[in-house]
Structures are given as C-alpha cells and as structure tokens.
Amino acid sequence: MTKLGIELHDSSIEALSVEDGDLVLNCVVYVHESGDPGVAAGTGRFHDAVIRVKDFECEREEFEFPLLLDGGSLVLNGRRFDEILPYPLDEEGETALLLEPRESSEFLVRGSGIEVELLGPQGELEAFPGSN
C-alpha cells in the first residue's frame, strides 16, 4: 500500500499571508509516494500546495521569497513528524510546525490545527531510490 508524504527539505515557501487568524503558506512541496514516504523506494514530484496553521501564533521576521527549506518538523497532538509530513493532513489540536529555511533562521508556528492541500496538476514524476 502506497502512502503520500510531503518532504520539507527541498520544498519552498513562495508567500505567506494571514486569513481569519490562520497563517497560510503558499508553497511548492516535494511529494513522496511509497510504502514508507521518504524512506522506501518510490516516486517523487513537486506540487503546488497550501499549508494552513489554524489560529496561529509565531514570532516572524521579514523574509525574501521564495524561502527554500532545509527541513523542519511537526508536532501534532503529541505525535512528532520529522522532515516528512503525512498527507492527506487536516487535523485539529495542538500544533507546532518548525521550519528551517536555508538562508535565514528557523521559525516556529504554533496553532490549533493544520491543513495541507495540494493544488492544481502535479509536477513530473521521478524515481526515488529510497534512503537506505
């Protein structure tokens, strides 16, 4: 059974905005599809996406976009996801999203839920040999 996962490394934030108390990140993400996304062999592709952190709190600085990511993590209701976000993802609860940009300092966004939506057509598929 294959699953999808969104790799934070190699993804980018193209813009950010605030809508109704939510932080909205317009992104280009790298999507893995395999039995164990980011680990097992499968496929990968770039895809436009929106990551929404509901009722967010964060200290943010001004960024130059696009903001390329070296990595990050998500803690959602006590579960930790390093580097790979599960997809689909639309959950309420205690949320802490840590993003690690290449060219600036990391920043932490806290909220009461997170939603990830893939938009439009997917990019070209490529083979992912696995991380082993």
Q: Which of 58, 66, 46 is nearest to 106 (CA)?
A: 58
**pLDDT value at residue 78:** 96
Whole-structure pTM value: 0.93
Q: How many domains does the chain have?
A: 1
* Residue pair 94/78 in contact by the 8 Å Cβ criterion: yes
Residue ranges of E strands in the chain: 3-19, 22-34, 42-54, 67-76, 79-82, 84-87, 89-101, 107-119, 126-128
Tell me the pLDDT of the chain (132 aa) as tens digits: 789 999 999 899 999 999 999 999 999 999 999 999 888 999 999 999 999 999 999 876 677 889 999 999 999 999 999 999 999 999 999 999 999 999 888 889 999 999 999 998 888 999 988 876
- Both tokens of residue 131? 């991380």
User: Is residue 130 in a domain?
Assistant: no
- Both tokens of residue 66? 């696009």
**pLDDT value at residue 119:** 96
User: Is residue 92 in a domain?
Assistant: yes
**pLDDT value at residue 61:** 67
Alpha carbon distances (Å) from 6 to 20, 55, 62, 64: 25, 22, 25, 23
**pLDDT value at residue 38:** 85
Q: Which of 86, 106, 111, 81 is nearest to 96 (CA)?
A: 111
Domain range for residue 54?
3-121
**pLDDT value at residue 132:** 64
